[in-house]
Chains A and B, each alone.
Chain A
Amino acid sequence: MVLVAPSLADGELAVLEALAPTQAGEAARASILAQGLPTKRNEAFKWSDLRAALQDGVPKPSGSAGMVPACWQDALVIDFTPEGFGLEGDKDAGLVIESEESLPLEDVVGVESLAAGFAPRALVLRITSQQSRPIFLRRHPGAPMRVRVELKAETNLTLVDTSLGEAGLASALIEAELATGATLTRYSLQQGGNKAIDLSHCRVTIGAGATYEATSLMFGAHFARAETLARLIGAGGYCRIRGAYLLAGSSHADMTSKIIHLSPDTFTEELFKGAVQDRARGVFQGKILVERGAQQTDARQNHHALMLTEGAQIDAKPELEIYADDVQCAHGNTIGALDEEALFYLRQRGIPENQAKALLIEAFVTEVFDTLSEQDVRDWFNDQARTWLKSRVG
């Protein structure tokens, strides 16, 4: 019997209840009992106070997981619900699917510790040969997800994950190991209601000549935070993360990433773009760490955002920490308003103000998707952005 410290807030007590009876659940429980949930007093959460977000407890799940979009009809769909996970669709050769106990991660607190702790079991995807069929991870409202992906040398996989809950606490932990020459392509879409909390963490180890390429679109939720922790451990390793965000109302979306270059001759390319209006808040924290031995690292990070109305908030913390002396690293960060001159130009041509704004915001934000090689995936993201803009701006 563990004595609950009286200082824990209702939300923290509810989180303790929600943790699974696993070793990872126990570890998360111990962490909360010792330190509570992260608050704005923790540097990494200074703009995203998780304890405050959960002050009214854990919201009851509601809403739908959404249909599988047309461009992913061929995918193997794996549904994650609060009760567990299930598969639907065909599986190709070279894919082994197993489930294992949810084990605690070492030395972690915060989102990854919680996401590990909520999941009753972990799904394991072992890739032993080239995969042409994508895997679609459909996260239902209030569902925990933990997926471990192992890509053997010279294999590839496309992973799609969506979280569209109206309400509830949903969590995701993706752990990926990319062996030599492997490629993991990931697409995520997050859109939560004002009672939804979405916590996701992706930790990926990128081997020699391997590529991790992730693209996301976030519309936020009551509280949404997507974390990436990537480690480049072999020469020729490549990490490319792209994210777009569109936030309105009281939405909150946090994109926090840390990319660690541990090997010489490794590459990072980051591009995040967003637009925020009303009382919504966008948070971008991007750190690139180049360790002493990681010579010839080439790392680029860009974050550009538009503040559409007064009262909206965008917090950005780009960070480069470099311990090697022969590297190329650059970052750019801008936060501005919509270009009034461009807006007038469009209106002078007869386009009504709101439609002109929507057009300019779309053009600005969806630049993130311009370099996606697959037209139908690009269209999928662009359509999501356009639909949102039509209802919120246009």
Chain B
Amino acid sequence: MLNIDNLHVEIGGKAIINGLTLEVPAGQVHAIMGPNGAGKSTLSYALTGREGYEVTRGTATLNGVDLLSLPPEARAAKGLFLSFQYPLEIPGVPTLTFLRTALNAQRKARGEDEISVPDFMKLSREVAKKLGVTQDMMKRPLNVGFSGGEKKRMEIYAMALLDPRFMILDETDSGLDIDALRVVSEGVNALRGPKKAMLVITHYQRLLDYIKPDRVHVLAGGRIVDSGGPDLALTLEASGYDRYKDAA
């Protein structure tokens, strides 16, 4: 599924990711944990193609397709989705218009027919019901006036509608109370499947109680410095990241 090999990423000439290698097979959920400044968000932006995140070495492929040579929208059409740590508020763009435009753009890029407005409305209502997204939220401009929890719910809602194959969740738990965390996690878990995979980026073990990972990796100093099963997250929660300081 996702293969990252010896990835190096710079921002403004400063090296942030330094030879990161990672494989996430289909059907699995991998967690990336690490201290502040380890390069967690940089990894998610480099994979999704944000401007200013310059890959200087290494490769990243999704099902064998080279991601790094593609513009962000083409990566999205290949099934790569990033749930943003801080979802953007975009005044003037109604949420539903945005989502329909995005879905149709992806379908068009894949050579599929556009979804009709009635079909889209039906689909959007079904998905909304499961995630507790209200009609009012869908009618409002994208994320404008939403609480932190509502924004994250909207990210997962977009994820469910666009039905991506590989999902990166960047600090999805930040800003969520326990109830919201449960709703969002249930939404995420519903999207797991044998042909899909996820990379869950988080500071805290808490999220992993709800979204159970198959593997846990520790990112420090721009490299994976440790990997293990779900228990590694518990160890980290108890001992912190201090012992990786030297490794970084």
A209 to B186, CA, bound (A): 58
A359 to B73, CA, bound (A): 15
Tally of contact residues, A, Cβ under 8 A: 24
Interface size bucket, B side?
A: 20 to 34
A346 to B90, CA, bound (A): 10
Whether the pair A345, B73 counts as a contact (CB closer than 8 A) is no
B105 within 8 A of A: yes
Determine the main DSSP class of A at the interface with B: helix
Given contacts A340-B51, A344-B51, contact A351 B90 (CB under 8 A): no
Whether the pair A348, B77 counts as a contact (CB closer than 8 A) is no
Given contacts A352-B105, A355-B105, contact A347 B72 (CB under 8 A): yes
B-binding segment of A158-166, A315-323, A360-368: A360-368
B102 within 8 A of A: yes
Instruction: Count contacts between A and B, CB distance < 8 Å.
Output: 74
In the assembled complex, the CB of A342 is this many whole angstroms from the nearest CB of chain B, namely 5
B96 within 8 A of A: no
B162 within 8 A of A: yes
- Residues from chain B with a CB closer than 8 A to the CB of A344 are 50-51, 72
In the assembled complex, the CB of B124 is this many whole angstroms from the nearest CB of chain A, namely 14
Given contacts A340-B51, A344-B50, A345-B84, contact A350 B76 (CB under 8 A): yes
- Residues from chain B with a CB closer than 8 A to the CB of A341 are 88
A225 to B158, CA, bound (A): 44
In the assembled complex, the CB of A274 is this many whole angstroms from the nearest CB of chain B, namely 14
A193 to B51, CA, bound (A): 36
A353 to B71, CA, bound (A): 9
Residues on B lying within 8 angstroms of A by beta carbon are 48-51, 71-73, 75-77, 81-82, 84, 87-88, 90-93, 98-99, 101-103, 105-106, 109, 141, 158, 162
Residues on A lying within 8 angstroms of B by beta carbon are 339-342, 344-353, 355-356, 359-360, 362-364, 366-367, 370
- Sample (28) of A-B pairs whose CB atoms are under 8 Å apart: A341-B88, A342-B88, A342-B90, A344-B51, A344-B72, A345-B84, A345-B87, A346-B98, A347-B71, A347-B73, A348-B49, A348-B73, A349-B76, A349-B99, A349-B102, A350-B73, A350-B102, A350-B105, A350-B109, A351-B101, A351-B102, A353-B71, A355-B105, A362-B92, A364-B92, A366-B92, A367-B91, A367-B92
